[in-house]
Chain A
Amino acid sequence: MAYSNKVLDHYNNPRNVGSLDKNDPNVGTGMVGAPECGDVMKLQVKVNPETGVIEDAKFKTFGCGSAIASSSLATEWLHGKTVDEALQIKNTDIVNELSLPPVKIHCSVLAEDAIKAAISDYKKKAATKTEAVAST
């Protein structure tokens, strides 16, 4: 299969590879996929609690080149977005940007799921923090 230049670029120079401290209250972690399915994405966002803006995003992915490219692109897009803006990212945006063929659409779906999972984790943490503050 021939890969698009953008997929190749993200594969060869993945952006924002790494991990953030998952115990940091401002960090949301999303882990989606399963090893037996052949892809697992871990995507993390670090949110400024004052502004709700994503200041950092990191990923690690076990998966094919398109899965790596999808998650790499996702972290690029997340930088500087508010949490609510981030939730607007659709898998089809990733498909279009990377020119993914039909058999690789599930990679983009996984990336969207990873974004949602990371943000939901952050929101859960933020909510418990507010509760904790409220109860004192």
Chain B
Amino acid sequence: MKLPIYMDNHATTPVDPRVLNAMMPYFTDIFGNAASRNHSFGWQAEEAVEKSRKQIADLIGATAKEVVFTSGATESNNLAIKGVAEMYAEKGNHIITAATEHKAVLDTCKRLEKDGIRVTYLPVQTNGLVDLNQLQDAITDKTILISVMYANNEIGVLQPIAEIGKLAKSKGVLLHTDATQAVGKVPVNVIKDNIDLASLSGHKMYGPKGVGALYVRRKGPRVQITAQMDGGGHERGMRSGTLNVPGIVGLGEACALCHADMPEESKRLAYLRDKLRGKLEKELDEVYINGTMEHRLPNNLNISFAYVEGESLLMGINDIAVSSGSACTSATLEPSYVLKALGAGDDLAHSSIRFGLGRFNTEEEVDYVAAKVIDVVQKLRELSPLYEMAKEGIDLTKVQWTAH
């Protein structure tokens, strides 16, 4: 076993060697511009791009023509939301999204608010899921778009996208989903789920960074978006810019591998994740899972170790790469807004750790991580005045703290 151990696969994943192999020729030998229509260099590049488009489409139940290449999920989210807001401005000016969305969605919506778009940020329930009744109530005749993520990047919960899709369709509202964390991990089907636009990214599924895609439905309804980047009119006018052919080849190959391996891989990761959880819960008291375990990515565990601050825990497990929702680990010194949205209290957000298992994690690594985390949590609790007080039976919510 090699240290350090990488268990932060929601942040990014390594490129699968098979993906890299597929990409390599496209840096040197087959380097053509896919838009060059009059020589073989261009044709070969275009052929590779079209193969990738098909591989992506196959993974999500779409057709190749519905796939628009972008630089990643942030761009896809921007393009989808701004593109719809602009294109459907005459139809309405209201967008519904959720409080636990990725910043690429939330900040895009905030930008649009400055331009006169009205945005509803739905709260989530304590299990992390949006309430369908609340969603339904939020829809008005001015609503043009619902944007709800497929799987959350912090707590891994899967939103009821199929139900949301059905509702959106019945109301004639478009549904965009940021499916960055879900594609390749759980079955995503744009037809079955009634998704109109879906964002995905290469580097979250063992493909390269800097490449992603936006699914844009062509039939029932035909979705149109206003381009956000002006130029040569690539991607059927929706996204100008010379195509990143090696990246696109990598994204396509990554999708094909996920497609082929998903049933087996998701079972293996769920087993490892559940083993990790079981060990932690057996050896440690007062650990709390954030978000429902029932509707969740197989590779995600987000867990709060009460009375232990997240950054100090990360410091103790410095040969393991994971993330924390603690304020101290964020640039803004605010604890995770996703965990806060669950209403669990800021103290549990400060104590949270996100484990993101991936294709290359082994059972041996999981055993090591569990043992290490248990050891460090126990040490830090010895150091924690809160743990001491809790053990003395003091109700910490009734203590007069000197907030600073």
Known: A35-B396, A38-B326, A64-B328. A110 touches B404 (CB 8 A): yes
Chain A residues lying within 8 Å of B69, measured Cβ to Cβ, are none
Q: How large is the interface on B (under 10, 10 to 19, 20 to 34, 35 or more residues)?
A: 20 to 34
Question: B386's contact among A62, A65, A103, A110, by CB below 8 Å, is which?
Answer: A62
Question: A35's contact among B311, B315, B386, by CB below 8 Å, is which?
Answer: B386
Q: Is the CB of A62 within 8 A of B308?
A: yes
Question: A64's contact among B311, B396, B402, B404, by CB below 8 Å, is which?
Answer: B311
Q: Encode contact with B along A8-50: 1 for CB under 8 Å, 0 otherwise.
A: 0001001001010000000000011111111111100000000
Known: A62-B308, A62-B309, A63-B312. A35 touches B401 (CB 8 A): yes
Q: Does A61 contact B (CB under 8 A)?
A: yes
Q: Is the CB of A40 within 8 A of B312?
A: no
Cα(A117)–Cα(B327), bound, Å: 25
Q: Does A106 contact B (CB under 8 A)?
A: yes
Chain A proximity of B199: nearest CB distance (Å): 30
Known: A34-B403, A35-B401, A41-B385. A3 touches B326 (CB 8 A): no
Question: A65's contact among B315, B327, B402, by CB below 8 Å, is which?
Answer: B315
Q: Is the CB of A38 within 8 A of B385?
A: no
Q: Is the CB of A42 within 8 A of B404?
A: no
Cα(A38)–Cα(B304), bound, Å: 13
Q: Is the CB of B326 within 8 A of A103?
A: no
Q: Does A109 contact B (CB under 8 A)?
A: yes
Chain A residues lying within 8 Å of B404, measured Cβ to Cβ, are 32-34, 37, 106, 109-110, 113
Chain A residues lying within 8 Å of B346, measured Cβ to Cβ, are 35-38
Q: Is the CB of B388 within 8 A of A60?
A: yes
Q: Does B16 contact A (CB under 8 A)?
A: no
Known: A32-B404, A109-B404. A64 touches B326 (CB 8 A): yes
Cα(A40)–Cα(B316), bound, Å: 19
Known: A33-B401, A34-B404, A63-B309. A14 touches B383 (CB 8 A): yes
Q: Is the CB of B312 within 8 A of A11?
A: yes
Q: Does B350 contact A (CB under 8 A)?
A: yes
Chain A proximity of B298: nearest CB distance (Å): 30
Count of chain A residues with a beta carbon within 8 Å of a chain B beta carbon:
31
Chain A proximity of B402: nearest CB distance (Å): 5
Question: B384's contact among A34, A61, A103, by CB below 8 Å, is which?
Answer: A61
Q: Is the CB of A35 within 8 A of B388?
A: no
Cα(A67)–Cα(B312), bound, Å: 9
Who on chain A is nearest to B333 by CB?
A103
Who on chain A is nearest to B396 by CB?
A35
Cα(A109)–Cα(B384), bound, Å: 19
Cα(A109)–Cα(B402), bound, Å: 13
Q: Is the CB of B383 within 8 A of A38?
A: no
Known: A37-B403, A37-B404, A38-B326. A64 touches B312 (CB 8 A): yes
Chain B proximity of A31: nearest CB distance (Å): 7
Known: A3-B315, A36-B347. A19 touches B402 (CB 8 A): no
Known: A38-B326, A39-B309, A40-B401. A19 touches B386 (CB 8 A): no
Chain B residues lying within 8 Å of A41, measured Cβ to Cβ, are 385
Cα(A93)–Cα(B212), bound, Å: 49
Chain B residues lying within 8 Å of A109, measured Cβ to Cβ, are 404
Interface centre among A3, A38, A60, A106 (most CB of B within 10 A): A38
Q: Is the CB of B335 within 8 A of A40?
A: no
Known: A60-B384, A60-B385, A60-B388. A36 touches B312 (CB 8 A): no
Q: Please provide the chain A residues from 86 to 132 with a CB less than 8 Å away from any CB of chain B in the complex.
A: 103, 106, 109-110, 113, 117
Q: Given contacts A34-B401, A61-B383, A67-B312, could you give 9 more A-B pairs where the C-beta distance is less than 8 Å?
A: A3-B315, A31-B402, A37-B346, A60-B383, A63-B309, A64-B326, A65-B315, A68-B312, A110-B404
Q: 21 A-B Cβ contacts within 8 A?
A: A11-B312, A17-B383, A31-B385, A33-B402, A33-B403, A35-B347, A35-B386, A37-B346, A37-B404, A38-B346, A38-B350, A41-B385, A60-B383, A62-B385, A63-B312, A64-B312, A64-B315, A65-B312, A67-B312, A68-B312, A68-B383
Interface residues of A (CB under 8 A from B): 3, 11, 14, 17, 19, 31-42, 60-65, 67-68, 103, 106, 109-110, 113, 117
Give the 5 A-B residue pairs with the shortest CB-CB distance, closest first: A34-B401, A36-B346, A42-B385, A35-B347, A64-B311
